[in-house]
Amino acid sequence: MPVINTITALPISLSGVGVREGLFQKMFATLFNTPENIAVLVSLTGFFMTMVWGLAGGLVYLLYRPTGVHLSDIENQVDAAEKDIEQSA
């Protein structure tokens, strides 16, 4: 899997689709004597699970609004920390 993930991370195709399936076919057939259609199914299942969890996390990121935290408070804290660092240096 690390070899397949590394190769599919290269900018060969969009999200490694096609490249990943071809690598799964060849490596699973060679290493485990797995039929090609099963290897592709395993590859696509893993890819879609990653997509589903990524979309769920993206929705949480877009829709979550913490209460009681304001951007101006964070900016003031960062400014104060920067001034402390400058004075101590």
Report d(CA 34, CA 46) in Å as an integer: 16
Q: What is the pTM of this model?
A: 0.66
Query: In which band, very low, low, confident or very high, does the pLDDT at 70 lie, cut at 50, 70 and 90?
Result: confident
Report d(CA 27, CA 19) in Å as an integer: 12
- With H, G, I as helix, E, B as strand and everything else as coil, classify residue 84: helix
- Is it the case that residue 66 has pLDDT exceeding 80? no
The DSSP call for residue 80 is H
Query: In which band, very low, low, confident or very high, does the pLDDT at 34 lie, cut at 50, 70 and 90?
Result: very high
